[in-house]
Amino acid sequence: MSWRWMRYLLASAMLFAAGCGNNKPAAQQIDGQLRIGIAFETLQTEYWVASLDNLRNELNKRNAEIVEVVADGDANRQLEQVQSLITRHVDGIVLVPKDSRTCVPMIRAANKANIPIVLYNRGAATGAGPHVVVVADNRSITRATVSKMVEVARQRGRKLKAAILIGDLGDINAIERREGFDEIVAENPDVVEVVARIPTEWNQEKAFAGITNALQANPEIEFIFCSSDFLFPSVISALKSANRYLPVNDPNHVVLGGFDGDATAYGMLKEGYLDADGVQDVQFECQQAVDALYKMNRGETVDAVLPDPGFVIHQGNLETDAERMWGSQVGSHK
Amino acid sequence: MTRKLVAQLPFIVLLVVAFTFSLLTPKFATTANAANLLTQASSAAVLAGGMSFVLLASCIDLSVGSQMFFAAAVAGKLLLAYESVPLAIVAMPLVGVCCGAVHGLLVTWAGLAPFIATMASLFVLRGAGLWLTETRAMNLPAEFTGYADATVAGFPLPIVIACVTLLALTYLHRRTAFGRQIVAIGHDREEAYKAGINCSRTIWQVYLVSGVCCAIAGFISLTQLGTVSPSFGRDREFNAIAAAVLGGTSLSGGTGSILPGAAIGAILVTMVFNGLNLIDANPYTYPLITGTVILFAILCDAVRHRHFATR
Amino acid sequence: MVRTSSPLTAPSRHTSSHTPGQIEQRSEHPLLAALRGRTGVFCIALYLLCIYPFCPELASTGQVLAVVHNAAPLLVLALGQTFVLLLGGIDLSVSGVIALVSIISASFITRQWAWAPAWTAEPSLSIAAGLLLGAVIGAVHGFAVSVLSLPAFLVTMSSMMILGGAAVWITHGERIGDLPIPLLDAAQRHYFGLDISVWIAISLALVALIVLRRTLWGQWLFAVGQNARAAYLAGCPVTWVLISGFAWCGACSALAALLYTARMETASPTFPGEILLDAIGAAVIGGTSLSGGAASALGVVGGTLAISLMAQSLTLLNLAHWHVLMAKGSVILLAAFFDARRRAASAAELRS
Amino acid sequence: MSETLLACRNVRKQFGSTVVLNDMTVSVPSGTVLGLVGENGAGKSTFLNILGGVLAPDGGEIELQGRRYTPANPIAAARAGVRVVHQELNLFPNLTIAENLFLDELPARWFGIDRARLQREATDMLRRVGLRRDARSLIRDLSPGARQLIEIGRALRTGAKLIVFDEPTTSLTTPESEHLFELIRELRSQGASIIYVSHNLSDVLRLADNVLVLRDGVVQTLDAATNLNESVLIRAMVGREMTQLFPRRQPQPERREASRPATLELRGLTRRNCIHDVSLRVDAGEIVGLAGLMGSGRTELLKMIYGLDATDAGEVLVDGVPYRRRCPRGWIKRGMAFVTEDRRQDGLLLDSNARDNTLLASWRQYSVGGWLQRRRASQAATQIQDELLLRGDRRVIVRRLSGGNQQKLVFAKWGLRKPRILLLDEPTRGVDVGAKMELYSTICRLADAGTAVLLVSSEQEELIGLCDRLHVMRSGKLVAELQRAEFSNEQILRHALDPEQIA
Q: What is the pLDDT of residues A179-225, one digit of tens each?
A: 999 998 888 888 888 888 888 878 877 888 888 888 877 888 888 99
Tell me phi and psi for residue A265, to 5 degrees. Answer: -60, -45
Q: H or E segment at C228? A: helix C228-233
CA–CA separation, C127 and C118 (whole Å) = 14
**Residue C188 lies inside a defined structural domain of this protein:** yes
Query: Which residues does B269 contact at the CB level (< 8 Å), separation at least 6?
Result: B41, B44, B48, B239, B242, B243, B246, B290, B293
Give the mutation candidate from C3, C13, C150, C321 for the B interface (greatest B CB count, under 10 A): C13
For residue C231, the one-letter residue type is: A
For the purposes of burial, counting CB atoms within 10 Å of the CB of B255, is it exposed (0-12), middle (13-18) or buried (19 or more)? buried
Asked casually if ipTM beats, i.e. exceeds, 0.90, the reply is: no
Q: What is the rounded average pLDDT of the residues B175-195?
A: 86
Nearest in space to C260 (alpha carbons), one of C72, C15, C78, C116 = C72
- What H or E segment, with its residue span, contains residue B146? helix B142-146
Question: Between C40 and B209, whose confidence is greater?
Answer: B209
Q: What is the pLDDT of residues C125-160, one digit of tens each?
A: 888 999 999 999 999 999 999 988 888 888 898 899
User: Chain C window 225-264: which residues touch A at a Cβ cutoff of 8 Å?
Assistant: 260, 263-264
List the single best residue of A4, A48, A82 to mutate versus C (max C Cβ within 10 A): A4
The two beta strands, D33-38 and D193-197, are parallel
CATH of the domain at B22: 1.10.3470
Distance of CA D41 to the CA centre of its chain: 7
Better-predicted residue by pLDDT, D254 or B247: B247
Q: How far apart are the first and last CA of chain B?
A: 19
Partner-chain residue, chosen from B58, B251, B291, that has the shortest CB–CB distance to C165: B291
> How confident is the model at residue C187, as a pLDDT?
79
pLDDT at A246 over 90: no
Per the prediction, chain A carries an average pLDDT of: 81
Nearest CA in chain A to B285: A199
Query: Quick check: A12 pLDDT over 70?
Result: no
Q: Which CATH architecture has domain D264-496?
A: 3-Layer(aba) Sandwich (3.40)
What total of structural domains would you count in chain B? 1
Q: How many domains does chain C have?
A: 1
Q: Sheet with D313-318: list strands edge to edge.
A: D275-282, D264-271, D313-318, D321-322
SS3 track for D389-453: CCCCCCCCCHHHCCHHHHHHHHHHHHHCCCCCEEEEECCCCCCCHHHHHHHHHHHHHHHHCCCEE
Mean pLDDT of C75-82: 94
Show the domain range for B219: 2-307
Instruction: Tell me which fold the domain D4-238 belongs to.
Output: Rossmann fold (3.40.50)
Cβ contacts of A91 within 8 Å, gap of 6 or more? A34, A35, A36, A115, A116, A297
pTM over the 0.95 mark: no
- Are C56 and A72 a contacting pair at CB < 8 A? no
pLDDT confidence of residue D432: 75
How close is the nearest chain C Cα to the Cα of A222, in Å? 28
Q: d(Cα D77, Cα A64) in Å, to the nearest integer?
A: 75
Cβ-based contacts of C234 with chain D (< 8 Å): 328, 332, 360-361, 413
pLDDT of residue C33: 47
pLDDT score of C22:
32
pLDDT at C245: 95
Amino acid at B240: A
B146 pLDDT above the threshold of 70: yes
Residue A97: CB atoms within 10 Å: 29
- Between the alpha carbon of residue A331 and those of residues A328, B159, D87, the distances in Å are 6, 34, 74
CB contact under 8 A, A87 and C63: yes
Ordered structural domains, chain A, with CATH? 30-137+282-310 (3.40.50.2300), 138-280+313-330 (3.40.50.2300)
Chains A and D touch (3+ CB pairs under 8 A): no
Find, among D288, D254, D247, D326, the residue nearest to D451 by Cα: D288
Which is more confident, B90 or D111?
A: B90
**B252–C16 CB contact, under 8 Å:** no
Q: Is residue C89 part of a domain?
A: yes
Q: How many CB atoms lie within 10 A of CB B219?
A: 25
Q: Is the pLDDT of residue A7 over 60?
A: no
Beta-strand runs (E) in D170-274? 193-197, 210-215, 218-224, 264-271
Is residue C182 in a domain? yes
C-beta atoms of B127 and C166 within 8 A:
no
CATH code, domain carrying C224: 1.10.3470
Question: Which segments of chain D belong to CATH 3.40.50.300?
Answer: 4-238, 264-496
d(CA C10, CA C3): 9
Give the pLDDT confidence score for residue D393 in this predicted structure: 77
Asked whether residue C272 is domain-assigned, the answer is: yes
pLDDT at residue D402, as a whole number = 80
Q: How far apart are CA A175 and CA D12, in angstroms?
A: 83
Residues of C in contact with A77 (CB under 8 A): 272, 321
Give chain B positions within 8 Å (CB) of A217: 25, 27, 277-278, 280
C44 — pLDDT class (breaks 50, 70, 90): low
Q: Is the pLDDT of residue C267 over 60?
A: yes
User: Between A and B, how many residue pairs show a Cβ–Cβ distance under 8 A?
Assistant: 90
Asked if C231 is an interface residue toward chain D (Cβ–Cβ < 8 A), one would say yes
Q: A264 touching B, CB under 8 A?
A: yes
pLDDT at residue C320 above 80?
no
- B134 CA: distance to closest CA in chain A (Å): 8
Tens of pLDDT, residue by residue, chain D (503 residues)? 457 888 888 888 887 666 778 888 888 888 888 888 877 667 788 888 888 888 888 888 888 888 888 888 777 888 888 888 877 777 888 888 888 888 877 777 777 778 888 888 888 888 888 788 888 888 888 887 788 888 888 888 777 888 888 888 777 777 878 888 888 888 888 888 888 888 778 888 888 888 888 877 788 888 888 888 877 887 777 765 545 566 666 655 555 555 677 888 888 888 888 888 888 888 888 889 998 887 788 888 898 888 888 888 888 888 888 887 778 888 888 888 999 888 888 889 888 888 889 998 888 888 888 888 889 999 999 999 888 888 777 888 888 788 888 899 999 999 988 899 999 998 888 777 778 888 888 888 888 888 889 999 887 778 888 888 888 888 888 888 888 877 777 778 778 776 654 43
Shortest CA distance from D309: residue in chain C: C8
pLDDT at C20: 33
Share of chain A above pLDDT 70, in %: 89
